[in-house]
Structure 1
Amino acid sequence: MNRSTNSLLLTSILVATSIAMLHRTSISAAEPPVNLLIIQTDEHNFRTLGCYRDTLPKEQAFVWGPKAIVETPAIDSIAKRGAICTSFYATSPVCTPSRASFFTGHYPQDTNSWQNDRPMRSDIKTFAAMLTDAGYKTGYAGKWHLDGPGKPQWAPERQFGFADNRFMFNRGHWKKFELTDDGPRVGGRSKSGSPNYDLAGADKKTFSTDWLTDRAIDFVRQHAQQPFCFHLSLPDPHGPNTVRPPYDTMYQDLPIHPPMTFDRAAENPKWADASGRNAIKTFQTQQMALYFGMVRCIDDNVARLLATLDELDLTDHTMVVFTSDHGDLCYEHGRLNKGNPYEGSAKIPMIIAAPKIIPAGTVVDEALGTVDFLPTVMTLMGKPAGQGVQGRDASKLLTGKSVDDWHDITFLRSAGPAAGWIAAVSDRYKLVVSVADTPWLFDLQDDPDELINQLAASPHHPAAKEFAQAILQYAEQFKDPHAENPKIRSQLLELAKH
């Protein structure tokens, strides 16, 4: 081949390559923005989800017995299409502070919402506000719990970026809703006419989970041709443990047993004293059967939402997130509910499907917290996270990119103005320093039941030093007053020396 022919061939290749690149660019530019659909439950134990049981050894996956499980195919399908985060934590494991961190990317002490019922700062920006600025249609249905003590308080005046918040209520775990000429209202009523938590004959059109999901489906249909962000906040499986038929009897014949740690409550650290709040002496099978029923009802409604995305050809253009605000111990360590750093209380589901962004079947083991959600999701959606955000951007972990400088520690804190405890957690270790006890270090790999204080046998465990130093650095950077408590600070300083 002579030089002239070679040059002509090279020119042809370059032209063809340029055309192909222009074609790819035009396709990319023509693709619609990524929608965001978030499904958030309340007080949800991660072990009730099949996709999380699949990540656990048998003894941890089936703590209530080998047959005491809920099938969750719809939620599991989100994990199969995207990523599951196996060590995701509520930055403070009660409703208000955890939600405040989730929506803003700021630590609870910086949001003014460091305990339940405290209103979030008005000047702080949520991911919904950022997406509204980017031209998204935004909406919200369900529990909010960031506008103070109002209960139920429909459609709070401070919208925080959720333009359509007609079906947002501030507080409560109501079981029945209805639409009236004056707007939505709680269907369960006392003799005096006040709203209450009664089922009140709720059915598949009025039960809270179904009714709120209908509102989400209505929003998605209305805005199918526009970029949208919708947040569905379900008040279940938080107590009271009641659910409509047929879910109320669906699991009543399961052989449900107390978890192994239920009878070991006397060994709890003092910050989880089995005689304290949310402690319980008697295991109630029926309560767990109803809890399972609430979870199954949630999964069936997730299936309806996913089917709607499929029907409208939105699945490939919608990021779907399934998560919760905090966990529920469900009798582990002789306790119900939340509020402490045990796994059942603080570890929560975080599942994200994002076609063309997150590879299917991704598993992220690094420790993350609700404070990390905003910077992560905004980056995944190709949007800036804004100034002053305190959480970490974990998008590279979710998309399979290399991360050389990732520090595998997230920080948790007790709710309230007075210091209770503060913790640092990685995929393997958890250090808890409190005003009520000596420091506890758990090895989540060798002691997943969290029964053994590693510091009892090894007072100078290397992880304790690393984690104590990390807490001190975090507290200084993000002004956490819990770490300034004299007892907590002296313990941290002592551990950090060795």
Structure 2
Amino acid sequence: MPGILHHLSAFLIAACFLTAKVLCEDTSTPPNVIIIMTDEQNLRTIGAYRDLMSNEQAFQWGQNVFVDTPNIDRLANEGVIFDNFYAVTPLCTPSRASFMTGLYPKQTGAWKNHGTLKKNKHSFAEDLMDTHDTVYLGKWHLNGVTKDSTDFNNNPNRKFGFKNTSFQYNRGHWKYFSQEKWKVTAYDWSQRGMFANNEEQNYATDFLFDKAISFMKNKKDKGKNFAVMLSIADPHAPNEVRAPYNEMYNHISFQLPSTGKKAMRLNPALPDWGQVDTFSPETAESNISDWENDTVLQKGMQNVFGMIKLIDDNVGKMLQFFDDENLADDTIVIFTSDHGDMMGEHGRLNKGVPYKASAQVPMIMRWPNKIDSGKIIKTAYSSVDFAPSLLGMMSVEAKNINSSGIDGSSEIMRSGQISFNEEQIRFLTDSKMKRWAAAITGQYKLVLSKDGPWLFDMIKDPDEMINYYEDPKYTQLASTLKNALIDTIDKFNFPLKQRSYLADTPECWDSKNEISGWDNNLCSDLNDIQNRPACQWDFVSSQCPRVCGECCHDSSGEFWLFKAMRTCAEIQEEERFCQHSAAQLFCPESCGLC
């Protein structure tokens, strides 16, 4: 019998080495966790992400225009970096609500900015609070429109699993905090003179990092596990930062990214959801010059770099704390952001569109000896997948959250340097504008809107400028993504469901590019009676068949109208549909426009 037990024990030990590490971890002592979330951060402002890009992609603002982030990079080098992690909605409130709950925006109730997370929804903290002391510090943005400089810890019935919310506030991008006993007060940039001698102590980023470190030190000394959510409001505007970070990047001049220049020239054309009203071929060069010579904009972007450098320095301070306190091996450290920032890409600032600069976010996780160092995950994930993945990593049963996302913990914990499941499809949605919805994989992105489908191949075209939807090589892929996206729009009540959108390209479709051979003119210019005679030129009518009256055929395929998919055959039987522009565009013959 002893011999049998010996062989059985050896077999079990060997099995642990041959299977995924997560299956054999000793979970009797759960790990600590800290999640650092910044607000509105472009991936290119992190060195570890630039390292994953081509030189052209990494340095969109110029070859020597970058901010060093050695401490965030250290997390990536010692852990896993996600190369295709997206904000489910690239907007503060809906992104945060989905991140906390694992639900799509309409499920949370907080699908618009400044919306309120439904009280009956649950965050991942509720499944951690039995084993961890949970704390939330910083911007919350899930309690509605409230914005008050003394709005700290004022919602005892809306803690969502966070036992300590003493340093949590709802919204606002306050630049300084002060504390008197347990009363915390926030201040904006105009009040900075109050802290001239104590900026490092009172500047918001420093203040919150220090409070988080103090909390973790206290719990460590008491032998308690901690779960910390640290939400930093920088580098979101206002684009101001304390000294000396406010002058660190004054020597830098930001070029307008190449995609911004192309966008302003409308060459190639942009989807409707990517348009900016001021874009015109006639004014493109002056617009580009104005952008690059705008001193206010340049200083603002220099300060964005300064804010990020300050964040990175505080990450370094926190990592040193973990090393000094022997907590590194027992603590999962996560760095992410609620959404991106266009920073001039595609001619835009801020967020709200499905381009990578707006919707893709950093996601870096370190857990020494549990997650392989230097691992890259290229599989697509989104905000709804975070909560189930975190609980899965920690071997915590999800008793409270009922996630609509994917538990990616097995991929995170599995050994290997590169992990890529191209078949995994995730979904993104616009907010109250209801302009678009998107399906993404590690390589492809399909966006549906009233403008017709746009399919991007993000390896062939990392600038996201070329629409491959009509390319025969992509037919099967496009169909798979489209069907999955339409089902998800319907199942999770994406806002686009309330509008009309085109699931296929209309038969009669005018080019949106500048008309080749007729400089600075677009097909839409032919609606002007003075330009109409140009339709007699074949090179014009071939590019603008619809507006020139050369094409008037019903389209094959489908479009969404009045909460259902429609075809032109149905339009013939329901005249009321033809009152809508989508039906007129897709089915001009059936609508009697020929």
Question: What TM-score does the superposition give when structure 1 sets the normalisation length?
Answer: 0.88
- Match 1:419 to one of 421, 424, 434: 434
Matching residue of 2:161: 161
Paired AA for residue 465 in structure 2: L
1:421 counterpart letter in structure 2: W
Q: Counterpart of 1:363 in 2: which secondary structure?
A: strand
1:436-462 per-residue CA deviation (whole Å, 9 max, x = no partner) reads x22211111111111112235559733
1:452 paired residue number = 466
**1:16-65 deviations in whole A, cap 9, x for unaligned?**
859999xx9xx975963111100000000011101000111111111111
- Is 1:290 the counterpart of 2:303? The answer is yes
1:286-365 to 2 correspondence within 5 Å?
A: 286-365=299-378
**Structure 1 position 440 matched with structure 2 position 467:** no
- State whether structure 2 residue 431 is matched by structure 1 residue 429: no
Match of 2:236 in 1: 238
Q: CA 1:74 to 1:378, structure 2 compared with 1: closer, same or farther past 3 Å?
A: same
- Tell me, in whole angstroms, the C-alpha distance in 1 between the residues paired with 2:192 and 2:272: 33
**Kept after mapping to 2: 8 A contact 1:87/1:368:** yes
Q: Corresponding residue for 2:147? A: 151
C-alpha distance in structure 2 between counterparts of 1:32 and 1:106, whole Å? 28
Q: Does 1:470 align with 2:484?
A: yes
Per the TM alignment, residue 484 of structure 1 is displaced from its structure 2 partner at its CA by 5.2
Is the partner of 1:236 in helix, strand or coil?
A: coil
Q: Check conservation: 1:199, 1:243, Cα contact below 8 A.
A: no
Which one of 409, 412, 420 corresponds to residue 395 of structure 1?
A: 409
CA contact (8 A) 1:274 1:333 kept: no
* AA aligned opposite 1:141: L
What is the TM-score normalised by the length of structure 2? 0.75
Cα pair distance change 1:313/1:272, threshold 3 Å: same
The alpha-carbon deviation at position 131 of structure 1 amounts to 0.4
Q: Take 1:327 and 1:405, find their aligned partners in 2: how far apart are those partners?
A: 24
Structure 1 residues 30 and 371 mapped into 2: Cα distance closer, same or farther (>3 Å)?
Answer: closer
8 A Cα contact 1:145 1:171, kept in partner: yes
How far is the alpha carbon of 1:419 from its aligned partner?
A: 2.4
1:35-434 matches, cutoff 5 A: 35-132=32-129, 134-152=130-148, 153-157=151-155, 158-181=158-181, 183-188=183-188, 201=196, 203-224=199-220, 225-265=223-263, 266=266, 267-275=269-277, 282-283=291-292, 284-386=297-399, 388-400=402-414, 407-416=423-432, 419-434=434-449
Where relative contact order (Cα < 8 A, 6+ residues apart) is larger, the structure is 1
CA distance in 2 between counterparts of 1:328 and 1:140 reads: 24
Whose radius of gyration is greater, 1 or 2? 2
1:243 alignment partner AA: V
Matches of 2:8 and 2:410, distance apart in 1: 34
Structure 1 unaligned spans of 5+: 1-6, 191-195
For 2:259, what is the secondary structure of its paired residue? Answer: helix
Provide the aligned C-alpha RMSD in A: 3.1
Tell me the secondary structure at the aligned position of residue 204 of structure 1. Answer: helix
CA positional deviation for 1:262 = 1.8
Query: What do the CA deviations read for 1:236-277 (whole angstroms, capped 9, x no partner)?
Result: 000111111111111111343221112122333211212289
- Percent identity (aligned): 37
Q: Paired residue for 1:4?
A: none
Does the 8 Å CA contact 1:472/1:483 hold for their aligned counterparts?
Answer: no
Letter in 1 for 2:311: I
Match for 1:89: what amino acid? Y
